[in-house]
């Protein structure tokens, strides 16, 4: 029997598969006496109740809601786990965006793939594991810029001002509710997240309470330097699993 393992689940999971994999992997981890289970949980840690999870389901954020449910399932089983809160992946490929006035003034968590990868490796190698029956939540946030600081960084990296559209609070609310439609994928979820960002709920949820902040070792980079690095060496996109015939 396996007595001590650091277990990572697959980094790419479709949320339709999560309801199966979350129980299967968590139960296998419990049976194998896994020392520290680090699931592919990396997303905004902003759901605190079943009611909030239902809100995400309603606006097309079922994949985020399932990660919340996965955490509850793991805790219920008593598997020692480390849940890692990361920021939104830095992406400067699109020199355009839509924000509300409040988004320009409120910080939002960002993390690069490189930062997350190094942080997860350090966390896995750490001997500071949870107790045999407890889980912990760590924050792996590289930057916390305001929307205006993000706009300025994109301008410096791309050499031109981004095509920024200011969305009114009323228009954003109508998009969230579905009263106003958009060809953009997940437009209701995007509007929902813009609202939470403007309310300061996203960063507060990922750094507040009993969440410990994990600082990656080495020299800290500026947002502009990291964005330039990503532009010159963009990470390969994840490959989704092939459907079974």
Q: pLDDT averaged over the chain?
A: 79
> In whole angstroms, what is the distance from residue 132 CA to residue 130 CA?
6
> Mean pLDDT across the stretch 193-216?
80
pLDDT at 242 over 60: no
| Residue 6 scores a pLDDT above 60 | no
DSSP state of 216: P
pLDDT average, residue stretch 176-183: 90
Instruction: Specify whether the CB–CB gap between 223 and 110 falls below 8 A.
Output: yes
Return the SS3 of 109. Answer: coil
- 3-state SS, 183-215, equals CCCCHHHHHHHHHHHHCCHHHHHHHCCCCEECC
Residue 102 and residue 202: Cα distance in Å, rounded?
13
User: Mind listing the domains of the chain with CATH numbers?
Assistant: 6-232 (3.40.50.720)
**pTM (2 d.p.):** 0.78
The mean pLDDT value for 161-176 works out to 93
pLDDT digits 0-9 by tens, 131-150: 655 678 888 889 999 999 99
Cβ atoms of residues 89 and 114 within 8 Å: no
183 or 44, which is more confident: 183
Q: In this predicted model, what pLDDT tens digit does every residue of 31-43 receive, in sequence order?
A: 777 777 887 666 5
Q: CA–CA separation, 17 vs 23, rounded Å?
A: 11
């Amino acid at each position: 029997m396996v007595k001590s393992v650091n277990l990572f689940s697959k980094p790419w999971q479709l949320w339709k598969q999560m309801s199966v994999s979350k129980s299967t992997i968590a139960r296998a981890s419990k049976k194998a006496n896994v020392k520290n289970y680090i699931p592919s949980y990396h997303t905004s840690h902003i759901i605190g109740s079943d009611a909030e999870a239902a809100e995400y389901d309603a606006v097309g954020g079922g994949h985020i809601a399932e990660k919340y449910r996965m955490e509850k399932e793991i805790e219920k089983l008593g598997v020692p786990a480390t849940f890692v809160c990361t920021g939104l992946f830095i992406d400067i490929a699109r020199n355009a965006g839509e924000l509300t006035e409040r988004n320009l003034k409120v910080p939002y968590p960002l993390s690069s793939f490189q930062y997350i990868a190094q942080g997860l490796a350090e966390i896995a190698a750490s001997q500071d594991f949870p107790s045999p029956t407890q889980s912990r939540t760590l924050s792996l946030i590289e930057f916390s810029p305001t929307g205006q600081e993000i706009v300025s960084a994109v301008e410096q990296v791309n050499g031109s001002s981004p095509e920024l559209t200011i969305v009114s609070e009323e228009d954003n609310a109508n998009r969230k509710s579905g009263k106003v439609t958009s060809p953009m994928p997940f437009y209701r979820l995007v509007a929902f997240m813009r609202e939470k960002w403007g309310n300061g709920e996203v960063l507060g949820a990922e750094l507040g309470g009993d969440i410990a902040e994990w600082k990656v070792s080495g020299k800290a980079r500026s947002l502009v330097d990291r964005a330039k690095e990503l532009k010159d060496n963009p990470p390969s996109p994840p490959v989704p699993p092939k459907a079974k015939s």
